[in-house]
Amino acid sequence: MATKIDYYAALEVSRDANGDEIKRAYRKLAMKYHPDRNPGDAEAENKFKEISEAYEVLKDDQKRAAYDRFGHAAFEGGGPGAGGFDFGGGGLGDIFEQMFGDMMGGRRGGRRSGADIQVQVSITFAEAFAGVKKEITIPTRVTCKSCEGTGSADKDQPPETCPSCHGAGKVRAQQGFFAIERPCPTCHGTGRLIRNPCKECHGAGTVEKNRTIEVSIPAGVEDGTRIRITGEGEAGGKGVPAGDLYVHVSVEAHAIFQRDGANIYCRVPVRMGQAALGTEIEVPVVDGSRAKVKIPAGTQTGEHFRLRGKGFSVLRSSARGDMYIQVVVETPRHLSKRQRELLEEFETDAAGHAKGSPESTGFFSKVKDFFEGKL
Ligand SMILES: [Zn+2]
Ligand SMILES: [Zn+2]
């Protein structure tokens, strides 16, 4: 190992600093030098490793006492924390989960952790509108309670560095001209040796178990949304932080409502006579209530009427979408004798009124121009 900076100097605290002072100093510096805040900055990364290492030791009374007495030598070869510190994650993980949580977002640079878990959840249109809590059962590996994740049945005998491979997990064997690397037979490639493996997990530090967690799906969630729940993935085992849980939400289609972003569309059929004379119709609202919509005389198919604020909530905002009623004017079928007579009479009369059907009039005058070569 290269020359190391004094742990107290690394954290910029005095040698008699108390636990709180050390913690505060560490948080301040860790925020400043965290790799997520200094992408690609090797110097910051080194500094971050230094302060993390220093904190790992100074926060622990026993390790701190050993350091005060023996300096860095306390932690080299066979000492406490044999095999060196693991900056990929290790014991740092849990502090970081607490400290940064979602604030930093995303995977912390190169940190080793348990596997992420992906689950699919299907919710109804109404649940997406109102928001819903869903219980999700995940088959997963969780930290073994029996050995607290150490893998060792004996609490006083933590896993040791494997003496055959010195923790590498691999051994080299000469075979003719070639040196072949193969997994260490003593430790089965783990690099660690557990003298008395835990009966529950057989030394793995994690056990398989169904876990049920309640996931809050926010109102306004869209089909295909992915919700990340930090630390609810696979347990890492042996002090390594858990992975994350990703919940992929699919929203079922609705029989009468469609959605576009935060807006809701509903196609409402209106009888020909109602559309011509004007009327008031009652329409369903996705929250289960009803609303009245005035359809003015002369409404055409495709015309929209807006119900302000009756759409979906917009995620992470207090804004709401609108609901649009799309009118479809329905042509009557299977006319009764009386209806046929009335409509025939109506039609005879309407043919003479160009102003009554402006769209037809406009169209046929263009058709006339077309045949006369003007268009
Ligand atoms: Zn165990
Ligand atoms: Zn080994």
92 burial (CB, 10 Å; 0-12 / 13-18 / 19+) is buried
Superfamily the domain 7-110 falls into: DnaJ domain (1.10.287.110)
307 Cα–ligand 1 center, Å: 59
Structure tokens at 187: 């430790």
| Identical fold, 7-110 and 257-368 | no
pTM: 0.53
Residue 76 has what pLDDT? 61
Closest ligand relative to 168 C-alpha: 2
- Which superfamily does 117-159+194-251 belong to? Urease metallochaperone UreE, N-terminal domain (2.60.260.20)
Residues, beta carbon < 5 Å, ion ligand 1: 144, 146-147, 198, 200-201
Ligand approaching nearest to the C-alpha of 235: 1
Query: Which-ligand-closest: CA of 149?
Result: 1
Q: Is 266 annotated as contributing to ligand binding?
A: no
Domain range list for the chain: 7-110, 117-159+194-251, 257-368
Identify the pLDDT of residue 77: 46
Distance (angstroms) between ligand 2 centre and the Cα of 236 equals 20
Q: Which ligand is nearest to the CA of 238?
A: 1
What pLDDT is recorded for position 67?
81
pLDDT at 100: 38
* Run means of pLDDT, 10 residues per run, the chain, 375 residues: 74 87 88 81 86 88 80 58 34 38 38 79 94 88 84 82 87 77 84 86 84 90 91 75 89 95 95 95 93 95 95 88 96 95 92 81 90 88
Distance 116 CA to ligand 2 centre (A): 28
Domain over 257-368 is classified CATH 3.40.50.300: no
Query: How close is the Cα of 198 to the center of ligand 2, in Å?
Result: 18
Proximal ligand: closest to the CA of 145 = 1
Looking at residue 156, its pLDDT comes to 77
d(CA 245, ligand 2 centre) in Å: 32
46 CA → ligand 2 middle, Å? 29
